[in-house]
Amino acid sequence: MYISKSLPLLFIVLLLFFVNCKKQAAQCIEPDPSIDCTSGLKEIAPYPIGLATATFYLQEPAYDSILRQNFNSLTAEWQMKQNIIHIAEGSYNWQPMDDLVDYAQQNNIRIHGHALLWHGATPKWIEDYEGTSEEFEAIIKDYIQTVVGRYKGKITSWDVVNEAFKDNSGNLRATVFKKWMGDDYIARCFQYAREADPDVLLFYNDFNLPSSSSKCQAVLDMVEDFKARNIPIDGIGLQMHLQLQWPSDQQIQKTVEQIVETGLKIHFSELDVRLNDAGRLDSLTTEQAEKQAARYCQIARFHNQIPTEQQYGISIWGLRDSDSWIPQFFGNEDWPLLFDQNLKTKPAYEAFQKGLCE
């Protein structure tokens, strides 16, 4: 009698145990045994691992050592932007760019150029431009072709245009470029860059595509339009400035799949995971660090799922937490990167290693 009464309960317990094992097995993808998952990030990843950096960081021996152990791609966090190099019509400050390009070449590191046109780094003399549209376009064309031509064979890829669409909208931002060159300025800038270097890879780069379907659709429509008109474009940069649960994994997955469909390369171009938008934290808790680690691991898994020929790599937007743009921009202390302010690895680093290794 006792056995007959307890049989259904026993069955349910066994069923739950079986289901839980299956679920755990699905999450624990065994890494490739031929890869040492404790190596530097660039040794583990099947695609480039990049870092946003600046020359003044490279003069720190500890920073330089960690960079060369882990990264095989560099993005200038600000040194290659128009407001730094294009100091007047026909006049350039090349030193900041040359410094970074020289370092990358000496260390056999890929350089991703960022960014030829961005409303967030337009020199004042361009913003204040007065003249004809034709003269303005000639200035921009000369700037693009001078910069891309100078680093031909040295810079592998460029963010030709950065953040051209309004956030949460499919409309073009009212930038100085749109004002003087018209709505089709993006296409012409890609053509100018291609004319300067037939081999350089040309990217469009933007943020919040996973969370803004209208903005994402505008980018996808632009890509299809470029294809129809034979306007050169090679890739899309998803900046990936993330919070712990925003945008959701489902939103990221959907956007990655949509861009995979275009056949273009995909660059997770500015990855960081901020934790303190609300300003409620005054230190990095163990719980938050572990949640951040899980997110970095998952982002690596998303890139792993991209077809090999479309993987352009994952670039982290800064090395140590104290280098990040986020505290100054959002106004709260934050810990968004893989290394702490003392260049010690955080749980996010080990989790990112694990994700790359799967």
Q: Which residues bind ligand G3I (CB under 6 A)?
A: 77-78, 81, 120-121, 162, 207, 239, 270, 325
Rounded to a whole number of angstroms, the minimum distance from the CB of residue 121 to ligand G3I is 5
Which residues lie across from 204 on neighbouring strands? Answer: 161, 236
Rounded to a whole number of angstroms, the minimum distance from the CB of residue 28 to ligand G3I is 35
Rounded to a whole number of angstroms, the minimum distance from the CB of residue 31 to ligand G3I is 32
The tokens for 239 are: 């900046």
CB nearer ligand G3I, residue 239 or residue 276:
239
CB 93 within 8 A of CB 72: no
Rounded to a whole number of angstroms, the minimum distance from the CB of residue 312 to ligand G3I is 16
Given the residues 89, 130, 270, 358, the one annotated as active site:
270
270 catalytic, yes or no?
Answer: yes
Q: Give the nearest residue (CB) to ligand G3I.
A: 325
Upstream peptide bond of 121 is cis (omega within 30 degrees of 0) = no
Cα separation, 294 vs 95, in Å, equals 40
Rounded to a whole number of angstroms, the minimum distance from the CB of residue 307 to ligand G3I is 26
Q: Tell me, what amino acid is at 315?
A: S
CB nearer ligand G3I, residue 194 or residue 274:
274
CB nearer ligand G3I, residue 57 or residue 249:
57
Cα separation, 48 vs 73, in Å, equals 6
CB nearer ligand G3I, residue 40 or residue 327:
327
163 catalytic, yes or no?
Answer: yes
Given the residues 137, 163, 195, 358, the one annotated as active site:
163
List, as own/partner pairs, every contact residues 133-142 make where C-beta atoms lie below 8 angstroms and the sequence separation is at least 24, other chains included. 133/180, 133/181, 133/182, 136/180, 136/181, 137/180, 137/181, 137/188, 139/89, 140/177, 140/181, 140/185, 140/189, 140/192, 141/188, 141/192, 142/90
CB 172 within 8 A of CB 166: yes
CB nearer ligand G3I, residue 191 or residue 239:
239
Q: Which residues are catalytic?
A: 163, 270
